[in-house]
Structure 1
Amino acid sequence: MFRPAPWGMPVRGTQGVLMEEESVAAERIHLWDRDTLEEEAWLIHLPSSRHASDVTVTELTDTAGRAPGNAKSALRPHPFEDLACRLLSALCDGPGLVVLRGLPLDELSDQACAELCRSAISLAGTPRPPESAAPMDHLLTTVPTSRVSAPADPDDILRGPAEEAALAPHTDRAGPSGPPRLLALLCVRPALKGGESLLVSGHSVHDRLSADRPAVLSTLYRDFYFGAERNLARSGPVFTRSDGRLQVRYNRYQIERGHHAAGEPLTAAQVEALDAFDEVLGDESLFLRLPLRRGDLLMLNNNTVLHGRTSFTDHPDPLQHRCLARAWAD
């Protein structure tokens, strides 16, 4: 059962109290931390009866294209329609994240796994083109993607395991059309050691700032520059409200790059606000720490949940290096 943490913003006034209470209730579902988020709220086990031959790209895509109210769909129930409903419920009416465990990846190439990831996210949204940000950006690995099916270079193996630094919690920017609504990560191969996903509720960060550092919130609702690349750079606030719903966009590294590229150094107030945000992210009690297994599909609401990962040590053999397939959707 999902038990949201206490909401820190009381409802006030006599007019529109019901509407405000409904808005607060709608946002409480995204307010969680390590102690209040229970596994059954985000973990879906794929039935063990589903074999590799059953879970195909075509089957998943066919499910995604069947409208819930379609009469033909009602006459021909599809085995993944219930799964699609559960995914949407967790992403929209739950904590904003879900893990589908047990996707069979045997005999699938890395590229085929990337196609499966993109088809799976189509159950919850409209996928973006596979290279909407950069070439081969749909496969995250420490090995050049042109070599994923090539024989291992003995010199690489002799150099020993690769070490990768931790990645701070952030939201994705994706391609030119703006930040995506959904992010999917399919674990093709885990790291030899480490590399756990770190997930944190943007609502919990906002709630903590509202309680402990309320003065910085007004700055975080104003525009920052994000990124320096021609097709990715944009400006916008860290926190916004759309139709009364809180949304978060955060990447400290890209904000600093963006302001440097724009020739507009961060002001003292902006630095203070970003430092306060990072201070909250330093509280590990807010994180869901998740070691992804091979065949785990992690799907996030990129408007409400930040993601990062711990440092990791990779396998000495480059062909066994950690690999995640990534897809975005709107």
Structure 2
Amino acid sequence: MTSILTEPVTGPSAWRAADFTGEDDWVVTLTPEEIHELDAALTSARIRELPLEALTMADFPLPALGKTLERAVQDLEFGRGFTVLRGLPVERWTPDEARLAYWGIALHLGTPVSQNADGELIAHVKDYDEGGLDNPATRAYRTRNALPFHTDSSDIVGLLCLRGAGQGGGVSTLASSMTVHNHLLAHHRELLGLYYRGFVYDRRTEEGSQELPYYRNAVYGYFDGQLSCRFYMTHYIESAVAKTGIPLSGIERHALRLFQDIAERDDHRVEMTLRPGDLQLLNNNVVVHGRSAYEDDPGRRRDLLRLWLNTRYARCIPEDFARFRRGMPRTRR
């Protein structure tokens, strides 16, 4: 077990709701010059017709927007841990153009990694009509269910909104996992060892033929003077029980609920509704996120493009702390 941090986390990553006056504190609206530059880079990249994986930053030059993206990376890695870039012209891009533009932006942010057993580097977050989270073969991003606070596997997760929910819902909620840890330290320090030991998660059919269908991952780890968090979907913990045959103890269930309750406090969380053209970026090491349930209009689905990536400033974390930080292995062909 890693050593347990017994001092409060300080600095901008340990934020509370009162630290913000509104969305102007985290929204960066792109300028016409930056959009023009992005369009030019998109046109150039389309002409070359290279596969996404073959493109580099040099193939997608963004001299002005690149500076904005560098500031975003600084906020993600060393600041509050989240930001929203607003104004991407998704309404006039084709789906392929949106993917390509998003990929070009991602190259300036870091290195994208695989998100599932299909090896997808860009995944659609929408309702796939596969049932809810109680279906042990369904990943959370493929449902319209409400999602409890959680992290993804990579350091950074990006969500580019193409279409919002026609009948409302899908509100994004964020909380600082550093603030959650500070609260646990102050009021429930006897439970901290549970979070540093972690929980067993269901692979949800993403495992290879020679792999176990579950794995253990810690919620918190303190490495090289930095506290990091990975708190995956609690539904995956529940469905892992059927595969391990080992039930959760009462104290484990209490710890899982307590984490959610602390993150959900009005004085700890912030909410935002992503509009088309918004790109939300957050750092899974220091921020947990959730989403309210939503309903689609007939023939019009809420649709966000998701990227997982790691920046060049990535912190030092043991490989076994964030199991799929560098991407999920491709097990389906």
TM range (shorter): 0.7 to 0.9
Asked if the contact 1:183/1:327 (under 8 Å) is kept, the reply is yes
Residue 30 of structure 1 pairs with residue 35 of structure 2: no
| Partner Cα separation in structure 1 for residue 184 and residue 303 of structure 2 | 35
- State the number of aligned residues: 274
Q: CA RMSD in A?
A: 3.1
Question: CA distance change for structure 1 residues 77 and 296 in 2, over 3 Å: closer, same or farther?
Answer: closer
The Cα of 1:239 is off from its aligned counterpart by 0.9
1:163-182 to 2 correspondence within 5 Å? 164-172=144-152, 179-182=153-156
Q: Residue 4 of structure 1 corresponds to which residue in structure 2?
A: none
The Cα of 1:130 is off from its aligned counterpart by 6.7
| Partner Cα separation in structure 1 for residue 149 and residue 104 of structure 2 | 26
Aligned residue among 148, 158, 161 for 1:187: 161
Q: Residue 238 of structure 1 corresponds to which residue in structure 2?
A: 219
| Partner Cα separation in structure 2 for residue 308 and residue 123 of structure 1 | 26
What's the secondary structure of 1:221's corresponding residue? helix
1:1-330 to 2 correspondence within 5 Å? 24=9, 27-38=10-21, 39-49=23-33, 50-51=35-36, 53-54=39-40, 56=42, 65=57, 78-129=63-114, 138-142=123-127, 164-172=144-152, 179-192=153-166, 193-229=168-204, 230-231=206-207, 233-250=214-231, 251-316=233-298, 318=299, 320-330=300-310
What's the secondary structure of 2:173's corresponding residue? strand
TM-score where L is the length of structure 2 = 0.72
Asked if the contact 1:205/1:277 (under 8 Å) is kept, the reply is yes
Asked if the contact 1:187/1:323 (under 8 Å) is kept, the reply is yes
The Cα of 1:97 is off from its aligned counterpart by 0.6
Asked if the contact 1:213/1:276 (under 8 Å) is kept, the reply is no
What's the secondary structure of 1:28's corresponding residue? coil
Asked if the contact 2:177/2:263 (under 8 Å) is kept, the reply is no
- Residue type matched to 2:308 in 1? W
| Partner Cα separation in structure 2 for residue 81 and residue 136 of structure 1 | 21
In structure 2, stretches of 5+ residues that fail to align are 46-51, 130-142, 208-212, 311-333
What's the secondary structure of 1:324's corresponding residue? strand
TM-score where L is the length of structure 1 = 0.73
Question: CA distance change for structure 1 residues 279 and 314 in 2, over 3 Å: closer, same or farther?
Answer: same
Of all paired residues, the percent bearing the same amino acid is 27
Question: CA distance change for structure 1 residues 282 and 133 in 2, over 3 Å: closer, same or farther?
Answer: farther
The Cα of 1:327 is off from its aligned counterpart by 0.8
Larger radius of gyration: 1
- Residue type matched to 1:31 in 2? A
The Cα of 1:186 is off from its aligned counterpart by 0.1
Asked if the contact 1:198/1:290 (under 8 Å) is kept, the reply is yes
